[in-house]
Amino acid sequence: MANFKTLAKREEKYKKFESGHSLCEGCGLPIAVRTVLNSIDGPVVASNATGCLEVATTRYPTTAWNIPWIHNAFENAAATISGVESAYRSLKRKGKIDGETTFVAFAGDGGTYDIGLQSLSGALERGHKFLYVTLDNGAYMNTGIQRSSATPKGASTTTEPAGRESYGKERQRKNLTEIVAAHEIPFVGQASISNLTDLSDKVEKAVSKDGPSFMNVLSTCQLGWRVPPSDAVNVAKKGVETCFWPLYEVDEGKWNITYEPNEKLPVEEWLKPQKRFAALFKTGNEEVIEEIQEDVDRDWKKLKAKAAM
């Protein structure tokens, strides 16, 4: 199990993901990517869906990646890595390559929940040995903060903005982690950039499995969430402490809550610091916050019941 010291040591040792990229200050993506890569011992090959992470780390002729890395298109990070992983198994069987390599796919919520869902589902069902990491910041941030099916209820985005007649997104977000869990793969985890050892432990477990594994990581976008860059980690932490974003895993079918807040905070604590939810705090929208609280409470209760089984 990793602690901060181990993660820092691995950062020194491997430097799998370098500085010098052009991701924003306060962006959660490099925090997540470093932690994921530093939690894996040995060679890693990554595929990356189109999005901020790809654009800001591989502007030709520069790259921030010290590991083999491939970008193909937006919706096919899972299919692409399944091709790489199949090539690895084939060439290894034929004696053309040796050694153990871990395969990871990175994609945002748009590239996973929406346009990449079929590609992911197919790759999971086929049983390739790879870890798929969704970096969920709850909208199409790279293209300008358009809503995705990961956008939380009540958030204002450029395609479902708050206005005189609307407070923002009306529908609750899709529960992707549970959709993936329904594939009955060996490991599914939900984590956050605010809880790094939890994230790291889950990655270690995930890549130890003989089959597909999946991680959904809450990752702050200071532009889309409209929070100060310095607050990026704290805001993500509020997502965890309010149980909007519970930290849990489904390990070989067993549901475990990996972090339970001492005191479950009211959902306003998560909503209030983010200006994307500003309309909810206007007079007349009180019941929307109540509805969001009800959604969170119901989902948390359901999760606890699954973990108790």
Partner 1 sequence: MSNGNRQVLTGHQVVANAMRQVDPDVVAAYPITPQSEIVEYFSKFVADGKVDSEVITVESEHSAMSACVGSSAAGARTMTATASQGLALMMEIVYIAASMRAPIVMTVANRALSGPINIHCDHSDSMAARDSGVIQIYGEDAQEAYDFTLMAQRLAENEDVLLPVMVTLDGFTLTHTAQVAELLPDDTVTDFVGDYEPLYPLLDVDNPTTQGPFDMPDYYFEHKLQQVEAMKNVPEKFLEIQEEFSSLSDREYSGLFESYKLDDADYAIVLLGSTAGTAKVVVDELRDEGKKVGLLKPWMFRPFPGEEIKDALKGKEAVAVLDRSLSFGSSGPLYLEISSALSHEDEKPRLYNYTYGLGGRDIAEKHIAEVFEDLENPELEGKMRYINART
173 in Cβ contact with 149 (< 8 Å)? yes
- Of 153 and 183, which has the nearer Cβ to partner 1? 183
Q: Which helix (H) or strand (E) holds 257?
A: strand 254-259
Q: How many CB atoms within 10 Å of residue 104? A: 26
Q: What's the one-letter identity of residue 249?
A: E
In whole angstroms, the minimum distance from the beta carbon of 49 to partner 1 comes to: 11
* Residues numbered 46-85 forming contacts with partner 1, rule: CB under 8 A: 47, 54-55, 58-61, 63, 65-73, 75-76, 79-85
How big is the chain by its Cα radius of gyration, in Å? 19
Q: How many CB atoms within 10 Å of residue 254? A: 10
The DSSP output letter for 98 is -
Q: How many residues of this chain bind partner 1 (CB under 8 A)? A: 46
Span near partner 1 by CB under 8 A; candidates 90-98, 154-162, 245-253, 263-271 = 90-98
93 binds partner 1 (CB under 8 A): yes
DSSP-assigned states of every residue in 157-223: -SSS--BTTB-S--SPPP-HHHHHHTT--SEEEEEETT-HHHHHHHHHHHHHSSS-EEEEEE---HH
118 binds partner 1 (CB under 8 A): yes
| Phi–psi pair at 239, nearest 5 degrees | -60, -40
Q: How many CB atoms within 10 Å of residue 304? A: 15
Site string for partner 1, 19-48 (x = CB under 8 A): ------------------------x-x-x-
- Of 63 and 166, which has the nearer Cβ to partner 1? 63
- Of 81 and 280, which has the nearer Cβ to partner 1? 81
- Of 125 and 252, which has the nearer Cβ to partner 1? 125
Q: Is 167 helix (H, G, I), strand (E, B) or coil?
A: coil
In whole angstroms, the minimum distance from the beta carbon of 5 to partner 1 comes to: 26
Site residues, partner 1 (CB under 8 A): 43, 45, 47, 54-55, 58-61, 63, 65-73, 75-76, 79-91, 93-94, 97, 99, 101, 118-119, 121-123, 125-126
